[in-house]
């Protein structure tokens, strides 16, 4: 996949109707937005379009209405909040690509902004229905994709519409593509990737693809135990994906053949049970990974492992991290994840964090501003690391 894509700065937008796909999938409670982070993140692109005299038509999905007109998933709340943040009216359309949206789009003046209704009100959206894509495209002259979180989906408003309009990236997508694209295509070395999280099976293809690119692959979190079992240890009650033991053996052999350093935990923090509630008090001890008691389960990496992993990060020039090192939701089991976040924060390498839980961990633990880039798309960043082509990015014009 070519990561060198045109952005809004590479196309003339003045006087043009610009359909801009945003990620306004904000959390709400009783009809009130509980975090406007995603709306705030979209402002630079919207402001650029307004300042450069485009006629701005914004669109997004919210939640999963599955083709039904669910009033509680209306984007009206987003239009209201966006009006406040922009300091100008955001005209709300009553439909997605119907009569009202078309009339309002046709009447837009330069610098004005409107928002279409929830794209997933339309059954065709998630099917990438060409009819819906055409209707959406008919309102505009240019398509801008600024929603990275849905870039791995081929939907009408994320990719299909680009069949009918010149398409470029907004600032958010541009940042994701340029930073992650560079890391994968032409990284400064040593390139270290850290994988964690619950299961090997979630990230099979990521492991396989990263072994083609990195100098060191660090594996922690719940997925490490299947590797440990593949090395012949018993792992007690730890998370184990028995059907993936052979796969782990294959990956260890591949690492060896490629000269990639594969780092696995040497010690771990164990408890008799998974914490319940997840953030409740828990009694733990640290043991070597080869000595996990049969009736206990590994829930975090131990201190020796933290030091080994941190040392590998220290010498890196590019670091990609996906997946927490332990059950970070529990303060007693967050230490390994904190140690990795600290190692990234202390490093002068380009540091990239992808994955919903890893990003949340970095933010919760207060490291977000010390990381070069925290991806806004969990699933999308994972597919990126797998080396897959993302439809919402592939559809954009090459530079």
356 catalytic residue (yes or no)? yes
Which one among 170, 326, 377, 391 touches ligand ADP, defined by CB under 6 A? 326
Q: Measuring CA to CA, which residue among 130, 197, 248 is closest to residue 385?
A: 197
Could you give phi then psi for residue 149, rounded to 5 degrees?
A: -60, -25
Q: Which of 38, 104, 153, 237 is catalytic?
A: 38
**Per-residue string for binding with Mg ion, 342-361, x by CB under 5 A?**
--------------xx----
189 catalytic residue (yes or no)? no
Q: Which residues contact 217 (CB under 8 A, 6 or more apart)?
A: 192, 193, 195, 207, 210, 211, 255, 260, 261, 262, 263
Q: Which of 199, 304, 317, 370 is catalytic?
A: 199
Count of residues touching ligand ADP (by CB under 6 A): 20
Q: Which residue has the tokens 């530079």?
A: 399
The nearer residue to Mg ion, 241 or 357, going by C-beta atoms, is 357
199 catalytic residue (yes or no)? yes
Q: Measuring CA to CA, which residue among 174, 218, 221 is closest to residue 202?
A: 221
- Smallest separation (angstroms) from Mg ion to the CB of 207: 16
- Does residue 391 touch ligand ADP according to CB under 6 A? no
Determine how β-strand 32-33 pairs with β-strand 55-59.
unpaired
Burial of 117-135, coded b for 16+ CB within 10 Å and e otherwise, reads bbbbbbebbbebbeebbeb
- Does residue 355 touch ligand ADP according to CB under 6 A? yes
- Does residue 236 touch ligand ADP according to CB under 6 A? no
Q: Give the interface segment with ligand ADP, choosing from 10-18, 21-29, 192-200, 242-250 (CB under 6 A).
A: 192-200
Which one among 198, 308, 310, 394 touches ligand ADP, defined by CB under 6 A? 198
- Smallest separation (angstroms) from Mg ion to the CB of 256: 29
- Smallest separation (angstroms) from ligand ADP to the CB of 381: 8
Q: Which of 63, 67, 379, 387 is catalytic?
A: 379
Q: Which residue has the tokens 């002068």?
A: 348
Which one among 25, 118, 228, 358 touches ligand ADP, defined by CB under 6 A? 358
379 catalytic residue (yes or no)? yes
- Does residue 300 touch Mg ion according to CB under 5 A? no
**Per-residue string for binding with ligand ADP, 284-313, x by CB under 6 A?**
--------------xx--------------
The nearer residue to ligand ADP, 138 or 372, going by C-beta atoms, is 372
- Interacting partner of 310 out of Mg ion, ligand ADP, none (Cβ under 5 to 8 A depending on kind): none
- Interacting partner of 391 out of ligand ADP, Mg ion, none (Cβ under 5 to 8 A depending on kind): none
- Smallest separation (angstroms) from ligand ADP to the CB of 72: 26
- Does residue 44 touch ligand ADP according to CB under 6 A? no
Count CA atoms within 13 Å of residue 236 on its CB side.
22
Catalytic residues, which ones? 38, 199, 356, 379
Binding site for ligand ADP (CB under 6 A): 196-198, 202, 221-222, 239, 298-299, 322-324, 326-327, 329, 355-358, 378
Binding site for Mg ion (CB under 5 A): 356-357
């Amino acid at each position: 996949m070519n990561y060198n894509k045109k952005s809004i700065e590479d196309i003339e937008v003045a006087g043009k109707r610009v359909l801009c796909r945003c990620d306004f999938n904000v959390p709400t409670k009783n009809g009130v937005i509980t975090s406007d982070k995603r709306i705030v993140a979209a402002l630079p692109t919207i402001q650029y379009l307004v300042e450069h005299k485009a006629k701005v038509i914004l669109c997004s999905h919210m939640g999963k209405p599955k083709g039904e007109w669910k009033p509680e998933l209306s984007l009206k709340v987003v239009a209201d909040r966006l009006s406040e943040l922009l300091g100008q009216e955001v005209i709300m359309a009553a439909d997605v690509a119907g009569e009202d949206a078309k009339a309002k789009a046709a009447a837009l003046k330069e610098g004005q902004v409107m928002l279409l209704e929830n794209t997933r009100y339309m059954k065709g959206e998630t099917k990438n229905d060409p009819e819906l894509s055409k209707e959406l495209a008919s309102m505009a002259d240019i398509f801008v994709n600024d929603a990275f979180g849905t870039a791995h989906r081929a939907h009408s408003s994320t990719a299909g519409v680009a069949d009918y309009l010149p398409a470029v990236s907004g600032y958010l997508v541009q940042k994701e593509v340029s930073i992650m694209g560079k890391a994968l295509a032409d990284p400064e070395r040593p390139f270290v990737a850290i994988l964690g999280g619950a299961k090997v099976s979630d990230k099979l293809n990521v492991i396989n693809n990263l072994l083609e690119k990195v100098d060191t692959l660090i594996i922690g979190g719940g997925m490490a135990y299947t590797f440990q079992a593949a090395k012949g240890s018993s792992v007690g009650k730890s998370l184990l994906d028995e059907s993936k033991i052979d796969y782990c053996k294959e990956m260890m052999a591949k690492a060896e053949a490629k000269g990639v350093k594969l780092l696995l935990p040497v010690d771990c923090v164990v408890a008799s049970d998974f914490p319940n509630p997840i953030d409740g008090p828990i009694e733990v001890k640290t043991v070597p990974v080869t000595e996990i008691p049969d009736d206990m389960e590994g829930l975090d990496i131990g201190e020796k492992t933290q030091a080994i992993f941190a040392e590998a990060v220290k010498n890196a020039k590019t670091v990609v991290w996906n997946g927490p090192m332990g059950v970070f939701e529990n303060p007693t089991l967050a230490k390994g994840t904190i140690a990795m976040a600290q190692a990234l924060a202390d490093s002068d390498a380009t540091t990239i964090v992808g994955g919903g839980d890893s990003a949340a961990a970095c933010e919760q633990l207060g490291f977000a501003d010390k990381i070069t880039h925290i991806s806004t798309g969990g699933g999308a960043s994972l597919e990126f690391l797998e080396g897959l082509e993302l439809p919402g990015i592939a559809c954009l014009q090459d530079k």
